[in-house]
Structure 1
Amino acid sequence: MTHNIHGTFVSEKINKIRWRPDFMNDSHYFVTGSWDNDQNAIKLWDFQENEEDAEIYPFLVTELPHKGDITELKFLNGDFFVTSSSQGSVHLMKISSEHGLEPVIESKIRWEGIHKFPNDEISPCTAFCTYDNDIVSVGEDGNINLLNSNNQNVVRTIENADSCSIHCVTFLKHSEILTGNLRGQLKIFDIRVSSNEASNTFMLSGDQVSPLCLQNHPTQRHLVVAGDEEGSITIWDLRQNTYPVNLLDAHEGGVMEIHFHLDHPDQLFTCSTAGDIWHWSPKSGGVSSLSLGNAENIWLASETIKNKLDVFTLMPKLHKPVNSLDVNRNKVLCGCDNEAIYLINGVNIYK
């Protein structure tokens, strides 16, 4: 696979990195969130291409201080995005530009300290998920908060949803969420009902292995993939049952993030605490999930899935965790604890 790698030292550990959505053009803006600084920040970057040596340099457009470590960052649309904090807060941000001036980042809504332990001590907000304008946050306090980008108040809090820290969350549909906790339990909550109890609970694996991330398939939300602290990837078809369809031994360290390619969902990207960033792709000449239509999805294939996939290392292994990645067309961004960001250009998506 032929691609170019451009690394840039940014003098801070990057915990989250996201392309700014731009569905009309090839986006060149992206946003990063730092951690482990005395003063963390949300930063908007742009790429500047040097035609003489074919290098691509990110340059800082604007930044906004952020209280606490940035634990998650997701865009609602091209202008609005949401962040969460180790200080127990969730923030709605807007990228604004007026009269041809450079964009700036504005804080629109702050849901401060919405995650707290029973003794009123601040609890980190560990993750959140979005569905249209709805936001669901989870934290080390075991609570779940329902928010809306049009409402400054917390819509609802599911207290004591879990007896231990909740690490990750994703929407299954507008009325259902899936959470993963410290003990390796996955729980489904129907957020329409008044009960604070999960409607279903099942284990990630036979042991108490903690999930670090959850991700839905872009077009089939019942297909859910989890990455865990031991480096494995587990795949479910939640229409059928709560037993995994596939379990893939993957990275040597914990799987920090999993992303399907939005336009080519048979392509999967993962990064890990071991310093890897991998591209999972159907074998050349094989059948892609796009051509299968309503038939078998490659990620729901039988145990022979390992024989149907190629796994490519997108860049040499780093000596620090790769905390975050994002994909836009044939470009992959990743952020690392070595205080650098990387653009991997020309990834072989289009077969």
Structure 2
Amino acid sequence: MSKDLTNSAIHRQNILNNTYALQEIEKATHITGIPFEGKTVVLKEQVADFFEVSLRTVESYLSRFEAELVRNGYEVIKGKRLKSLKSVLQGMDVPETYFGNIAKAPQLGILDFRAFLNLAMLMVESERARLLRQAILDIVIDTINLRTGGGTKYINQRDEDFLHSLFVEENYRKQFTDALRDCVDMGNLKYPMYTDKIYVSIFREKAKEYHKILRLHEKDSVRDTFYAEILDLVASYECGLAEMLRSASGSKGRALSVLEVDILFKEFESLPHWKPLIEKARNKMASRDLAFRDALHNQLQEYITPLRAEEFERFLGEKSKELAERLDDAKDVMKRLKERE
């Protein structure tokens, strides 16, 4: 998917919240700044020089996108902090034109590395900014692929909650398919048909549509790519629907017709307690797939938000593991429990 960082606040924020990518970008760019309060900062004059634009252009972006830039490390300092920065500048090889302009300034705007990158992702006038945006996108992709072993199809399985959710869902899946078998008067088409109804209810896509969006192979299992929160919600649907099917079938003393099941399903999905759970699931699926898998769920665009830094840690950090490692861990735990019996 083509990403125009200048037009997408979500893409920009996803990059700026990815601490692993930021570390690699900082190594690659070698941006020279001013050491201040344990980090490196730059002045707007230095930004203008780097991007080969006028100071007025930089100030225009700082004004137009102030809220976003402040959120990502731009700030205006004064008082003791400004005095401290001026002291640092006096001891550095900073052009006289810079220091002469700020020596008497009552306040000063500074940008840390995140804010500097944020500005690079906004600036359309600068060729250097354009080249930096290309490098940023390449580094982000390389960083995610490196930390996930070369692909993101199963990045969901690096979450420590995935394996438990998968096992739980499989149990409720069996209850649901057994209820369909025993309580619905229809052939084998009922299994994929009502599975799709669950998917559409939760994330507005049938299995075939989801397959296409994630570019899965024909034999790939859809559920193997679900995040833990999606598996939990699917399991809740399956558990509740299985109970309702058996109850309705038992009260009538016969298997239910397709029309009766469709009416029951409509009543079930309309229960108000599903709304916050569905909205959360849609947000997780749409936002994570866009950031990690470069996959856009068109039906869920309204739910897309930037990922927090904690999300990148959850799926790319040291605590995340490949499924094979988690299975090995689970086997070891089961073995120890068996030995205690």
Determine if the TM-score, normalized by the shorter chain, exceeds 0.5.
no
**Larger C-alpha radius of gyration, 1 or 2?**
2
Q: Which protein has greater RCO, CA pairs closer than 8 Å, 6+ apart?
A: 2
TM-score, normalisation: structure 2: 0.22
TM-score, normalisation: structure 1: 0.22
